[in-house]
Amino acid sequence: MGNLTKITRPRALITGLRGFTGAYLASELTARGYQVFGTAYGDEPLGAGVYHVDLCDRQALQDVVDRVQPEIVAHLAAVAFVGHNNPDDVYRINIMGTRNLLDALACLSTVPKSILVASSANIYGNSTAGTITELEQAMPANDYAISKMAMEHVARLWMGKLPIFITRPFNYVGVGQAENFLIPKIVSHFKRRAALIELGNLDVWREFSDVRSVAYAYAELLKLNPHGETINICNGKPYSLREVIALAESITGHVIEVRSNPAFVRANEVRTLAGDATKLQSLIGELPAYTLRDTLSWMLTAATTTSTGQAQRVGAAEVFN
């Protein structure tokens, strides 16, 4: 028998692997032939290649990076819930955690070929643009958005040493997203055929991409490595909250009473947030074609599998309730 050559799969590192976005990106990269490793925070059970690490523990993070020796990296871990009530956590994890990771990657003898740093479209704040391009002035309107804007500047400090690009995802949803996010909350009420739902400001407009499309976009961009670029992850199709409710009613046949609860209305509410996908499409082409109706139907028919503690440290999906 001749000599057998061991096939070594390329290694991917996802921070926030056990979060909502990380799980879908891991599946996408695994299907593309990568061996996926990741970091997790908290007490979730560990699997092979998953490491508990606090991004603010610089040495522990270096140990993980040294062990994995990743070829590509997707930095998704963050405090991602806009209404998180501890600004110290928001700034410490989103800014210093990112700096620690990039510093650790720069210390590798062979640096990764492609590094995605997930920011957020929330940095655009209350932009008056109809659809927002990457050139729109940042006007962050809450601590989370400010932390993400600062995180982008930190990432740019390392672009001379590392092949970094920045993504700014607009709202995206799917099965497994925690119920303190708006769409899962609505889906949960329709699944149990509740008579009433209390929401915050009803006069807001958002686009809602499918998390599977976002995972696809991230994987394509990691393959392409648009070093130094900033890219909106979006579909440019905003919906009002009232339209979302109407779609859920159409799919389920269940009519629900909607009340606006002032306690759920957040200060500095971003009224409209929709992105221009021109740059994204020029780089990777069209995203998989999921309409919001498709995504809602998927969520409404899926088993109830929401993540509870993960809501604070998933990728960059936004919540506006």
Using N-to-C axis directions, what is the helix angle for 241-252 and 182-191, rounded to 10°? Answer: 30
Q: Report how far residue 255's alpha carbon sits from residue 18's, in angstroms, rounded to the nearest whole number.
A: 34
Residue from 71, 82, 99, 305 nearest 206 by CA: 82
Residue from 318, 320, 321 nearest 80 by CA: 318
- Catalytic site residues? 144
Q: Report how far residue 70's alpha carbon sits from residue 68's, in angstroms, rounded to the nearest whole number.
A: 5
Q: Report how far residue 166's alpha carbon sits from residue 224's, in angstroms, rounded to the nearest whole number.
A: 13
Give ∠ CA 300-304-310 in degrees, rounded to 5: 115
